[in-house]
Amino acid sequence: MKNYPYCRVPDVANLRDVIKNRVKENPDNPVFLHKIVKGGEYVPVMPAQFDKDIDTLGTALMSMLRKNARVAILAETRYEWYCSYLASTNGTGCVVPIDKELSPEEIQNMLDRAEVDLILFSSSYTSKIDEIYGKNENLKFYVCMDDTTDDRFITYSSLMEKGKTLLANGDRTFLDAPIDTEAMTILLFTSGTTAKSKAVMLNQRNICFDLMAMFKMMCIDKNDTFMSVLPLHHTYECTCGFIGQVFIGSTVAICEGLRYITTNIKECKPTMILFVPAMLEMFYKAINKKINSDPKIKRKFSFGIKLSKFLLHLGIDVRKKLFKDIHDTFGGRMRLLIVGGAAINPSILQFFKDIGINAIQGYGLTECSPILAVNRDVISKNESAGLPVPGVEVKVANPDEEGIGEFIAKGPNIFMGYYHDPDATAASFDENGYYLTGDLGYIDKDGFVIITGRKKNVIITKNGKNVFPEEIEYLLSLNQIVQESVVSSKFDEKKDDDVIIATIFPNMEEIESRLGSSPSEDKIQELLEEAVEEVNEKLVHYKRVKSVVYRPTEFEKNTSRKIKRY
């Protein structure tokens, strides 16, 4: 496999360096495009203003909080979220991003576990704050990002005024605060219910190393506009889509919400987006529905694909012209789509590549800050999660006869441990200090990471054979009538062994196109069983699905759109 040189990136030691370097190196390129009024025009925020706002808020926070205070953020993606994050990490103490979709009880539990001193929240979540107000022993300050007359809360605007006054009077407490790059500065709760979630401790060395490593893998610069569509409390979006874009010099355009995504894309004309598979699949299905709606359009598209592939072999790229309508849907400038968080059908990635939009996968975990591997913009494999980022060692532990084992990793991006949970921390590392990812797979001959499933999901048959549910779920997903599926097992006393079960939520639009409106459950069941039988023919005997369950509603998911399997 041909080796391509790494992209050049800035050298940063901490998150203060990230913003100060941005002001120095790209002072005239907006850091953000945001809307002050819903539905209004995008307004730019320049680096100097962002830097000043961070210093102002940080100075105010340090004047009222203990040393190394814990600051929580509960809000949708907005400019104040970004300021609050760096005002917390760059001198004040430790930031604790909270999932805004959690229940008040779960939020309260996390605030307690993290020993939070102050919470900054959006007025959109005042009802949740009302339910937890006064119930956390350490939590003394509630700051509303919007103006309010509620005297229980401090307003964000009043904090900013306080910070301006302190700075004008020569207060340099925040500006000169030492930053310990080895100390916990970010405390993140993993996805799941409160009972299962773990509090991941990250420091600034973890984050800054991962920034420099991942951006060596793909060339992004001040000419790029990144559109932020995923929740910021996830380290995937926060590290890659926020801090990473500040770091590399590009502009972040804030999406107003998923219902506005197509409108906002046309307004800000981004060049790149981070997606989870479900979101990219949504675009893919919408585009294909339009293509297949008319035989003429379908023939024209098929001819366009063949023509563009032929011309590419000659070094001529006409994909933007041939597929102009699709490119216009993405704003006309889209060049890179990065997918992470779960596996995606490789054919979807290839579809976007064929029409001239590079689509690649990455792989990471919160505990890895988060990126462990990512496909490069210049070289990639659709079926892989990418190449390990430079400076991080990724290996396969205890591979079986097929070379499949658990991925383990070691490097400066690996987390400090789980907060107040030494047992869980110890269980996450092997005797040589490698982090145990819990993901299974192999590394191919070219060094690409191929993930086959999660260790905790593996079904082990009586004969000791491993069945990876994700493999069967992927094959099922290739059938148009399958919207979502979960493969599991149940012990059969008669057979004295586990039998494989596929629970399927069908694509009713496709079902009705075949069976007519309001089809009976029996007819739907028949189609699902036919789909499963087609998959069984591709599987060895011990992997075959023995029972099919029709599910009339979609599966419950967490906020990163992953199905809750248990």
pLDDT band at 193 (very low <50, low <70, confident <90, very high): very low
Whose tokens are 């007359």? That residue is: 149
- Section 387-409 average pLDDT: 95
Is residue 140 pLDDT above 80, yes or no? yes
Helix segments in 8-148, DSSP class H:
15-25, 47-64, 79-87, 104-114, 126-132
Q: Where are the beta strands (DSSP E) in 312-456?
A: 336-339, 358-364, 371-374, 387-388, 393-397, 405-410, 417-418, 435-443, 449-454
- Rounded Cα distance between 227 and 269, Å, is 9
Q: Tell me which residue of 36, 24, 110, 109 sits closest to 79, measured CA to CA.
A: 36
What is the β-pairing status of strands 358-364 and 371-374? antiparallel
Q: Compute the mean pLDDT over every residue in the chain, rounded to the nearest whole number.
A: 93
- Section 237-242 average pLDDT: 96
Q: For 16-49, write each residue's pLDDT tens digit.
A: 999 999 999 999 999 999 999 988 999 999 999 9
367 CA to centre of own chain: 13
- Rounded Cα distance between 175 and 505, Å, is 54
**What domains, with CATH codes, occur in the chain?**
15-211+233-239 (3.40.50.12780), 274-332+334-455 (3.40.50.12780), 458-550 (3.30.300.30)
Q: For 472-516, write each residue's pLDDT tens digit.
A: 988 898 888 999 999 998 887 777 778 899 999 999 988 998 888
pLDDT band at 462 (very low <50, low <70, confident <90, very high): confident
pLDDT at 117: 98
- Per the DSSP assignment, residues forming a β-bridge with 544 are none
Cβ-count burial 312-321 (b if 16+ within 10 Å, e if not): eeeeeeebbe
Is residue 464 pLDDT above 80, yes or no? no
Taking the CB of residue 326, how many other CB atoms lie within 10 A of it? Answer: 21
Q: For 409-456, write each residue's pLDDT tens digit.
A: 999 999 999 999 999 999 999 999 999 999 999 999 999 999 998 888
- Rounded Cα distance between 506 and 491, Å, is 25
DSSP per-residue codes, 397-408: ES--TTS-EEEE
Cβ contact 29:248 at 8 Å:
no
- Per the DSSP assignment, residues forming a β-bridge with 549 are 503
Is residue 195 pLDDT above 60, yes or no? no
- Rounded Cα distance between 226 and 359, Å, is 14
pLDDT band at 196 (very low <50, low <70, confident <90, very high): low
Q: For 111-121, write each residue's pLDDT tens digit.
A: 999 999 999 99
pLDDT band at 191 (very low <50, low <70, confident <90, very high): low
Is residue 161 pLDDT above 70, yes or no? yes
